[in-house]
Every structure is written in C-alpha cells, then in structure tokens.
Amino acid sequence: MFQARPSRRRALAAGASTAALLLAGPPALAGCTAWAPAPDTPDPLEPPAHRAEVDAALAAAVAGAHPTLATAANALAADRAAHARTLRAELHRVRPDPAPPTAAQPVVPPPVSPEPAAAKAALTQAMRAAQDEAAALVLTLPGYRAALLASVAACCATHTAVLT
Amino acid sequence: MTPHFPAGHPHPDMETYRGGEAGGVQLPVGALQAALATEHAAVWVYGVAGAFVSSTLTRRLDEAATAHQARRDATQRLLLDAGVTPVPPEPGYVSPEPVTDAASALRLVITAETDTAGAWRSVVERSPADPDLRGTALEALTAAAIRATRWRATAGATPLTVPFPGAP
C-alpha cells in the first residue's frame, strides 16, 4: 500500500541483501511444503477442521433462531465454513486417500439456547476455544500450515471482538 | 489488497536467516524487516489519521499508535540482537488515496492494519517452529486483525471480518 518514495538508499539496501543471500545460502527450512504427518497417525489439522465445521453449523443455527444475532452469526458461519474448506483441502492434499479409513466425525453442533444472551455467549466461547486450539498448533506445525492456522486464530479473535 | 512493503517483500525462497549460533533462534531476517517496515508505516499512518478523525476517537488512535510503536521497538531490538541493522522508516510515504476527511483516514488505518497483519503472518510462515518468535508474530497478527475489524465497525464498513487475516 505505502509506496515509499524511490530513493537511492533503497536500491543500495536491495543490493546488500542480495549479497547476504549469496553468502548465507538457503537455510534448512526448504521442504516445508513436502511435509506430511507420519503414516497411521492422525493429521493435526483434523481437529481444527472438524471444529470449524461444528462452529459454522452452530452459528448458522444461532442466526436462524435469533434475528438480533443474525448479522454477526452469519458472518461467523461464513468465515468458519471458509476455514473448514481450506483445512479440508490441505488435509486432502497431504492424504488424498486417508488410510486407514477413518469414520468421519459427525458435525453436530450443541443445541441453540432460546435466550439470545446465552446463544451469543456460546458463540463467543466457541470462538475463544477455536482461537486457542489454532494458536497452539501455530507454534509447532510447518510454515505453511502454521500461517494458515495463524489466520484462523486471528479470525476467531476478530469474531470474539465483534460479539463482545 | 496487495501490500507494497517499503523495503521490498522477500520471496519465501529468498529468505535469509540469522542467529541460531548460540542455541538461539534462527530469525527470518527478510520477513522481520518487512514487518518492521509496516510498523514504521503504521506509526506514520496513525500520526496522519489523528488530524482528520473526531476527537472522540483520539484515545483509540493513541492506543493503536502506542501498540505499533512497541512492536516496532521490539522488532528493532530483535534484529539488532541478531547483528542485523533494522530498516529505518522511509523518508516519506504515499498513501493509496488522499486523506482528506474522517472516512479516508479510517480507510488508511484499516489498510495499515491489513498490511501489518500480512507482514506478521509471513513471519509466522518463515519462522522455524519456535514458540517465542511464532508466538510474537501470531500476537502481532491477531492484534492487527482485531484493530482492523474495530476500525471497520467505526467506519461502517462491511464485512467486519475476513476469513484469513494476513493472507495474501
């Protein structure tokens, strides 16, 4: 966004960093994209993917039950559905054909409270739990997945901010 | 929106790393310098925006500016400790549109938060799996995303959220 005014210093800085690159060489971080969980162990993205599906279903149910919460809940449902799609795509990329075949966990959201305040609190609690889960995974997973979950965690935090 | 980082945004394959000799963490220098550059820009943006928005928003603007200054200072220290010269602020910035009123000032701060979010997400992506550095970068990304959402609410912009804050 902010186009810095062109300056000679920038050109010099660019040259300097190229020289550093040639001297330093690539680090041992290449190959992140080739990472895959060990066979026969659950993919660590499975829990956040399932949670995103449950949250999307919960938020859609809240939006249907409570018109005053519909705007926030529908936005939350849309974002969590986007998380679920992207996480599922990454799961599928790594294991196009999961073996052994796992029984898909059913997406069963908790019942929606008839009280708007309680329904709103349930959404807030869900967003905090999702943020915590994703944030913990950010610290340990390879770069691409860590960045993906960092965005998921940050998004859940923005929904908490909208709800509270 | 495509961020244009003042110091140039390094391609992931061109990242250089520093540190790690004494058991410390390997720092992704290019990503951190890009994040620092967006923090410099954000500090500048909040200075500009203050002149155009209602005084009722002054406290929130000040808090955001203070947060970016703290992030800037911490990032500078991190780079200096690794023997890297931190990028300085640019002598001048060109905002995407002229700032003439409260609405354009709010769009500018939202853009600044979007840019910092993107830069810190890149730090997450290019960091080794280190709790300290990734945790710091995640915190910066999350804080920027929350501020962007709150400013969108202030500006009456919709949607208030994006599914993947910081994603390109």
For the stretch B25-79, pLDDT in tens is: 689 999 999 999 999 999 999 999 999 999 899 999 999 999 999 999 999 999 9
Considering CB atoms only, which of A27, A135, A158 is closest to B138? A135
pLDDT of A80: 98
pLDDT of A38: 73
Decide if A83 touches B, using CB distance below 8 A: yes
Spell out a b/e string for A98-123, using b for 16 or more CB atoms within 10 Å of the CB, else e.
eeeeeeeeeeebeebeeeeeebbebb
pLDDT digit string, tens, across residues B123-141:
999 998 888 999 999 999 9
Structure tokens at A155: 């998004």
pLDDT of B137: 98
Bridge partners, residue B27, by sequence: B18
Highest mean predicted confidence (pLDDT) among A108-112, B3-7, B149-153:
B149-153
pLDDT of A22: 33
pLDDT of A10: 34
Considering CB atoms only, which of A4, A14, A143 is closest to B90? A4
Q: Tell me which chain B residue has its CA closest to the CA of residue A52.
A: B163
3-state secondary structure of B70: helix
The rounded mean pLDDT for chain A is: 82
pLDDT digit string, tens, across residues B96-111:
899 999 999 999 999 9
Structure tokens at A122: 């349930």
On the question of pLDDT at A98 being above 70, the answer is no
CA distance A104 to chain B (A): 24
Pairwise pLDDT comparison (A72 vs A21), residue with the higher score: A72
Number of C-beta neighbours around residue B104 at 10 A = 15
On the question of pLDDT at B10 being above 70, the answer is no
Bridge partners, residue B94, by sequence: A3
Question: Looking at chain B from residue 103 to 132, which residues have their Cβ under 8 Å from any Cβ of chain A?
Answer: 111-112, 114-115, 117, 121-122, 124-131
Decide if A158 touches B, using CB distance below 8 A: yes
> What residues of B are in contact with residue A147 (Cβ under 8 Å)?
121-122, 124-125, 166-167
Structure tokens at A120: 């709103």
Cβ atoms of A163 and A72 within 8 Å: the answer is yes
The string of DSSP letters for A88-139 reads HHHHHHH-SS-SSPPPPPP--PPPPPSSHHHHHHHHHHHHHHHHHHHHHHHT
Rg (CA), chain B: 16
pLDDT of B24: 65
pLDDT of B40: 98
pLDDT of A41: 85
